Chain A
Amino acid sequence: MALQDKYKQLTDAALAAGITDLNVVEQGGVLHIDGTAPSGTVKDQLWDIFGQIDPNFATGDLILNVNVSTSAAVTKVRVTTESSNLNIRKGPGTDQPIVGKAAHGEVITLVSQSSAQWWLVRTDDGEEGYAFTQYLTPEG
């Protein structure tokens, strides 16, 4: 219960912002908050609050897992690496061979959202494979 109180501001904000499928449960000394955010802005807002309550997320007593609901309409994603090219791989995993590269800032086609970590993409050159979602931002 103490953990729920510690992160009450976060769950209140999640409710107010319209997080759906919100599940809050304390398990083994860790508070788990799962849900789906209507936008990336809402997700960022929750992570800001998390960072204020627990600077650098160092304590480890909360697992916050909020996904942004990506509408089926999204077909284009921008490569948002820091500066380098993004590897496109044969399968979902860094142990998979590289089949192509997409440039930083390039807009490529999203074929399917295979998993939370890897999306199947296709470049304008026709190279198709899996790219790490952390470096992809939905367009429009």
Chain B
Amino acid sequence: MKMNKFLFAMMLSASIAVVSCKPKDADVKAAVEKTISANAALAGVVVDVKDGVATISGELKNEADKVAAETAAKAIKGVKSVTNNITIAPVITSNPVISATDVAISAGLRDLTKDLSTVKYAVKDGVITLTGEISKAKNVAFTQAYMALKPAKVERTGLIVK
């Protein structure tokens, strides 16, 4: 009886040893998720584990967070390697726009309207006022060009597109 108990204990510890050597993917996944969720900056990261290979995906704010997520996943026991499919969210800034000077805008418009004799312009305090008429074909290129002159505003209700 005593021997049997000893054997049973041996077998039990052996089976535990096997489990701890080869953790189940589901357990590894849970462990990686737990570590990642501890860092608020890594919210939204999706974890998947297959045969010890962890795949992390989702969208994060910057490269540092992407690396942090990978480092966190690598540190988990049972993770052989990490496939990092995390993308970085594109950034939109909202910095104030500084308009060009009236002199610079006027010089640009003088050049732009050289071949557009039917277009008249005036510039004051960064505001371009356009009058006259322009062909539909030339309107696109002209609009692109005057907007590149960095005006504060463009009043063009007096400009007829034909």
Contact = CB atoms under 8 A, between A and B. Distances in A.
A2 interface: no
Contact of A23 (B92, B111, B139): B92
A32 B97 CA distance: 7
A94 B110 CA distance: 7
Given A56-B136, A65-B148, A132-B111, A27 B96 contact: yes
At the interface, is chain B mostly helix, strand, loop or mixed?
Answer: mixed
A29 B155 CA distance: 12
A74 interface: no
Interface in A63-104: 63-65, 67, 93-95
Interface string B139-154: 1110111011111111
Interface in B115-162: 136, 139-141, 143-145, 147-157, 159, 161
17 contacts: A11-B92, A15-B90, A15-B92, A22-B90, A24-B92, A25-B95, A27-B96, A32-B97, A57-B140, A57-B143, A58-B156, A60-B157, A63-B97, A63-B154, A117-B145, A132-B111, A134-B112
Given A27-B96, A28-B152, A116-B148, 18 more contacts: A11-B92, A15-B90, A22-B90, A22-B93, A23-B93, A24-B94, A25-B94, A25-B95, A27-B97, A27-B152, A28-B153, A51-B140, A58-B159, A63-B97, A93-B111, A94-B114, A117-B148, A134-B141
Closest 8 CB pairs of A and B: A56-B161, A32-B97, A15-B90, A57-B143, A25-B94, A94-B111, A60-B154, A23-B93
